[in-house]
Amino acid sequence: MSAFHTSLLEVLPFAAAYVARDGGILACNRVFENGLQVRGLARVPARFQDVLSGESWKRFERVLSAAFGGVPAEVSGEIRLMSGDAFCRHFMCTSRVLLQKGCEAVLVQFGAENSAPDQPNEAGAMQSRVAAEHGNTFAQQISDSRVLEHFPDEILYFDGSESHADMALTLLEKTGGVKDLDGLTRTLEEARQALPQTLHIPEDGAPAREPGTGGSRVSEVRLVALPRDCGGSADGYPCMAIVRRNVDNPAEIAENKRLAYEDPLTGLENRRAFTRALKRELERMPSDGETGLAVYYIDLDEFKKVNDLGGHDAGDDMLLRVASCLKLALGEFGTVARIGGDEFAAMLPVTSRETAHEYAEKILEGFGRIRLEIKERVFTISGSVGVAYADAATHRKSTDANTLLGLADTACLRGKRGGGRSVQLHGVGAEDTPANLEENDNLPEAESFCGKELTLYAMPIVSLRNNETCGHEVLLRLQGDRAKGLSSRAWISAAERSGFIAQVDAWTLDRVLDAAERNATRSLLTMNVSAESARDPGFRDSLHNRLSVNPLLASRLCLEIAEKDFLREPSTVESFFGFVSEFGCQTAIDDFAGHWPVLSRLPGMRVEWLKLEAGLTRQVLREPARAEILRGLIGAARNLGMKVIAKHIETPAQADLLRTLDIEAAQGFHFGRPAPWIEIRS
């Protein structure tokens, strides 16, 4: 060790040492040696690991590693010896320096617990003794350029007599920083109350750029308190400023690190962060034999409509609401991430498959409460939730993070194939390994199906007053090999996303009208029409061409539009209902749940039927007190000249309850399942 480096250590007022990468003590000052002697150590050890407690060595080693990596750090918190005695309560490491013969080291400075300036602590007393032995003040030593000229950082000494404004001016001159004298003065006033402190002053004569924009550099200033007897003025408290020029902006470093693991829109974790967290959770599981892990994959249904109709700002707003809903549903122990445009992932420690499924249902219930109002439009959202549940025993045999997320994704796809708005759970077994995990197939494009793969079914609508069939709802179904495992609802959703749905509705309309012409009964035929078809000029032309010459046929046709489409496009639906009513067609709002934006428009609309959303009747069955609310809704509809149809009726008890509410008609498996159109008999 050179005399220069030894002299430099003795200049420093606190215990200090040059430390090698492995914790070896290459050199130290007298304050450091005296501190060890006070604590019962007769000589300086070869390595810190030999004298520090296990936990303290781990903390020390992490900071040491960061310093050798070019990231200076300071740490507050007690560092203890193996004996249990406190060694220090604060230390800081500079970045690495090169000693003789290519030996690398970092300078580590140790401080005792912060004390009031007029109450010198044990370290301060030792520092005073060292200063007396050397017969020189710290101020005199610090001004000796022969000692400090090769020091990697610049050092400024303030004896305490300077005003904060004078200190700020000196620092700005030394660093060439932004000339914000008032701001730096205020910062110093606050910083001097609790030293040590680290300040960052923008360089290059311009303010530091916003975090994440790249390229901003700062001067790093570390303020360290000094004992009074190190040459300070009678009234003030001296301090030392260690200045390092041209370092990366720490705020920018922190922001870049955050952006690397955070979704910028929702603030949730991104895929990278989620996968990392999932790996940590899987490592924890073997130590907890009772708790399993549920991994959720959530794909929003019909999110594209929010973007297309409401604009991208509406889409962003919806994603923020979905993110809040997921965090609320999974609680403080859940982890939620956005891993794609409208795809989310989550995980939650749970004790059983049943609990995993319950939380998935909570997610869907939360989605059902989301309402986004954009001018006259009201957007709702639903989703498909895939769940992969692994217990601790299964995890010990196999399963990694990518496999679990892949299994949840596959389960979610099954839900999408079933039409969405569902929960699909997969219990992870030993056979579920990365090697045999199949890749997900995308849903086939709607336009890839030909007419031979589409067919029509019909479900009876029964009058509750005389139990006779009064009409049929016409349903589109898929057939053939490609349709296996793919529900009609999922295929129709795909047709809506691809802009193909108006052609599908036109195809269905032609066949419904052809069949109605061949069957001269007076029973009602209802078919669902999408909002896309309602605004499509070609679809309206098809209706005009078929119905303008056959008003009797029009009177048998009831065209229904889902309430969610009415909420999204109220003007389009009102216009369409007015258009078809001119031909004598009946109209209906399907899946009617009684939302106020729809209720408020009903008095001025031409609507004959309200087809109740299935949840309304289920609520009445579970909670009979709700029957009066539904009865009031039915009465209001009747006063407006509208009739009500209940859906998804499966038991005689449900049918009897509906009769007590004076509902006109119903449909569901209790009255008859969908059957091919050719089997319908009047």
What are the CA-CA distances from residue 284 to residues 279, 281, 292, 305, 649 (Å)?
9, 5, 10, 41, 47
CA distance 221 to 170: 12
Are 307 and 315 within 8 A, CB to CB?
A: yes
Are 471 and 526 within 8 A, CB to CB?
A: yes
CA distance 361 to 425: 11
Is the pLDDT confidence value at 439 over 70?
no
For residue 161, how far is the Cα from the chain centroid?
A: 52
pLDDT digits (tens, 9 = 90+) for 214-273: 456 788 888 887 765 555 554 566 787 888 877 877 777 766 666 677 888 999 999 988
Whether pTM exceeds 0.85: no
What are the CA-CA distances from residue 227 to residues 8, 123, 144, 238, 301 (Å)?
18, 9, 19, 7, 67
Burial of 572 per CB tally in 10 Å (0-12, 13-18, 19+) = middle
pLDDT of residue 625: 75
Residue 4 domain flag? yes
Q: How confident is the model at residue 520 (pLDDT cuts 50, 70, 90)?
A: low
Average pLDDT, the chain: 80
CA distance 457 to 478: 10
Beta strands in 557-608 (DSSP E): 557-562, 586-592
CA distance 198 to 220: 7
Report the DSSP beta bridge partners of residue 456.
476
Report the DSSP beta bridge partners of residue 378.
373
Q: Is 426 helix (H, G, I), strand (E, B) or coil?
A: strand
Q: What are phi and psi of 641, to 5 degrees?
A: 85, 20
Query: Are 234 and 361 within one domain?
Result: no
Q: What percent of the chain has pLDDT over 70?
A: 80
Higher pLDDT, 451 or 234: 451
521 Ramachandran zone, left/alpha/beta (phi>0; psi -120 to 50): beta
**Greatest mean pLDDT among 134-138, 399-403, 455-459, 612-616:** 455-459
Amino acid at 100: Q
Residue 672 domain flag? yes
Which residue, 404, 436, 468, sits at the end of a domain? 436
CA distance 383 to 416: 9
Q: What is the CATH number of the domain that holds 256?
A: 3.30.450
CA distance 637 to 617: 16
User: Could you give the angle at the alpha carbon of 179 between the alpha carbons of 175 and 185, nearest 5°?
Assistant: 85
> Does 460 sit behind a cis peptide bond, omega within 30 degrees of 0 on the bond before it?
no
Is the pLDDT confidence value at 204 over 80?
no
Q: Where are the alpha helices (DSSP H) in 345-386?
A: 353-368
Averaged pLDDT for residues 544-558: 84
Residue holding tokens 């040059």?
18
What are the CA-CA distances from residue 347 to residues 129, 262, 279, 334, 405 (Å)?
59, 16, 11, 6, 10
The secondary structure of residue 401, as a DSSP letter, is H
Q: What is the CATH number of the domain that holds 653?
A: 3.20.20.450
Q: What is the CATH number of the domain that holds 65?
A: 3.30.450.20
pLDDT of residue 408: 92
Residue 144 domain flag? no
Residue 535 domain flag? yes
Q: Is 497 helix (H, G, I), strand (E, B) or coil?
A: helix
Q: How confident is the model at residue 138 (pLDDT cuts 50, 70, 90)?
A: very low
pLDDT digits (tens, 9 = 90+) for 71-124: 777 777 788 888 888 888 878 887 677 776 668 888 888 875 433 333 334 434
Residue 142 domain flag? no
> For the chain, how many structural domains are there in total?
4
pLDDT of residue 95: 64
pLDDT digits (tens, 9 = 90+) for 35-49: 888 888 888 899 999
Q: Tell me the helices (H) and strands (E) count for the chain, helix number first.
A: 26, 26
Higher pLDDT, 447 or 466: 466
Query: Are 309 and 362 within one domain?
Result: yes
pLDDT digits (tens, 9 = 90+) for 615-670: 777 777 777 777 888 888 888 888 889 999 999 898 888 888 888 888 999 999 99
Query: Are 226 and 119 within one domain?
Result: no
Strands 675-676 and 454-463: antiparallel
What are the CA-CA distances from residue 497 to residues 41, 308, 490, 663 (Å)?
76, 10, 11, 35
pLDDT of residue 431: 58
Residue 593 domain flag? yes
Residue 148 domain flag? no
Amino acid at 409: D
Q: What percent of the chain has pLDDT over 90?
A: 24
Query: Are 626 and 666 within one domain?
Result: yes
Are 575 and 605 within 8 A, CB to CB?
A: no
Q: How confident is the model at residue 290 (pLDDT cuts 50, 70, 90)?
A: confident
Q: What are phi and psi of 462, to 5 degrees?
A: -115, 135
- Which residue range is the domain that position 205 belongs to? 153-261
Averaged pLDDT for residues 207-215: 46
pLDDT of residue 148: 46
pLDDT of residue 65: 82
Is the pLDDT confidence value at 434 over 50?
no
Query: Are 224 and 357 within one domain?
Result: no
Which residue, 231, 261, 291, sits at the end of a domain? 261
Burial of 236 per CB tally in 10 Å (0-12, 13-18, 19+) = middle
pLDDT of residue 653: 85
pLDDT of residue 529: 93
Contacts of 426 (CB under 8 A, 6+ apart): 386, 387, 388, 389, 407, 408, 410, 411, 432
User: Could you give the angle at the alpha carbon of 619 between the alpha carbons of 615 and 621, nearest 5°?
Assistant: 120
Buried b (16+ CB within 10 A) or exposed e, 101-133: eeeebbbbbbbbeeeebeebbebbebbbebbee
Tokens of 212: 């994440």
**Greatest mean pLDDT among 217-226, 394-403, 537-546:** 537-546
What are the CA-CA distances from residue 607 to residues 462, 529, 580, 582, 604 (Å)?
20, 14, 11, 12, 9
Query: Are 367 and 472 within one domain?
Result: no
| Closest C-alpha to 579, from 513, 549, 535 | 535
3-state per-residue secondary structure call for 92-117: EECCCEECHHHCEEEEEEEECCCCCC
Tokens of 544: 């005009």
Q: How confident is the model at residue 463 (pLDDT cuts 50, 70, 90)?
A: very high
Averaged pLDDT for residues 197-221: 64
Query: Are 126 and 189 within one domain?
Result: no
Containing 445, the helix (H) or strand (E) segment is: none
pLDDT of residue 124: 43
CA distance 123 to 88: 9
pLDDT of residue 281: 87
Q: What is the CATH number of the domain that holds 352?
A: 3.30.70.270
Query: Are 455 and 585 within one domain?
Result: yes
Are 329 and 363 within 8 A, CB to CB?
A: yes
Query: Are 425 and 483 within one domain?
Result: no
Query: Are 352 and 478 within one domain?
Result: no
What radius of gyration do the chain's Cα atoms show?
Answer: 38
Query: Are 531 and 606 within one domain?
Result: yes
Which has the minimum average pLDDT: 248-262, 298-312, 345-359, 417-431? 248-262
CA distance 421 to 380: 12
Higher pLDDT, 20 or 40: 20
Query: Are 315 and 361 within one domain?
Result: yes
Tokens of 292: 């399993």
Residue 147 domain flag? no
Are 530 and 305 within 8 A, CB to CB?
A: no
What are the CA-CA distances from residue 366 to residues 98, 596, 621, 641 (Å)?
60, 19, 22, 34
The secondary structure of residue 609, as a DSSP letter, is E
Contacts of 133 (CB under 8 A, 6+ apart): 30
CA distance 292 to 475: 42
pLDDT of residue 209: 44
pLDDT of residue 317: 95
CA distance 389 to 677: 42
Task: Using the Cα atoms of residue 64, residue 65, residue 70 and residue 76 in order, give the sign of their dihedral.
Answer: negative
Burial of 515 per CB tally in 10 Å (0-12, 13-18, 19+) = middle
